[in-house]
């Protein structure tokens, strides 16, 4: 007697295929200039809570480089293509 609950002819472990709609069209993103892509990323990334927490930690130390400027620079380094 088989312990498999699968119907005959169907493998016991079968992955489900879940169709998903696209979140965005990549070719539309590629058409944008670097500054437009950076603006889009800065608009979409939800980081206000993180910025406030980092700024409160920074309040106890030196402030040579503002937290938000460094964060934006890090994002720009990922978004903007190297020359």
- The pLDDT, as a whole number, for residue 14 is 63
Find the length of the chain.
83
Domain that holds residue 66: 32-79
Note down pLDDT in tens along the chain; length 83 residues.
Answer: 445 566 677 666 666 777 777 777 778 888 888 899 889 888 888 899 999 999 998 887 777 889 999 999 999 998 887 76
Q: Is residue 36 part of a domain?
A: yes
pTM: 0.59
Give the separation between CA 70 and CA 81, rounded to whole angstroms.
18
Q: Is residue 26 part of a domain?
A: no
- The pLDDT, as a whole number, for residue 61 is 75
Q: Is residue 57 part of a domain?
A: yes
Distances in Å between the alpha carbon of 24 and those of 21, 29, 42, 44, 45?
A: 9, 8, 17, 13, 15
Q: Is residue 18 part of a domain?
A: no
Q: Which region, left, alpha or beta, applies to residue 11 given φ > 0 means left and ψ of -120 to 50 means alpha?
A: beta
Q: Is residue 41 part of a domain?
A: yes
Chain Cα centroid distance, residue 27: 18
Please give the tally of structural domains in the chain: 1
């Amino acid at each position: 007697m088989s312990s498999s609950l699968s119907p005959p002819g169907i493998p016991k472990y079968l992955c489900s295929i879940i169709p998903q709609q696209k979140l965005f069209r990549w070719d539309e993103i590629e058409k944008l200039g670097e500054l437009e892509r950076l603006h889009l990323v800065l608009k979409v990334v939800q980081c206000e809570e993180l910025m406030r927490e980092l700024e409160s930690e920074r309040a106890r130390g030196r402030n040579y480089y503002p937290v938000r400027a460094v964060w934006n620079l890090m994002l720009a380094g990922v978004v903007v293509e190297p020359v």
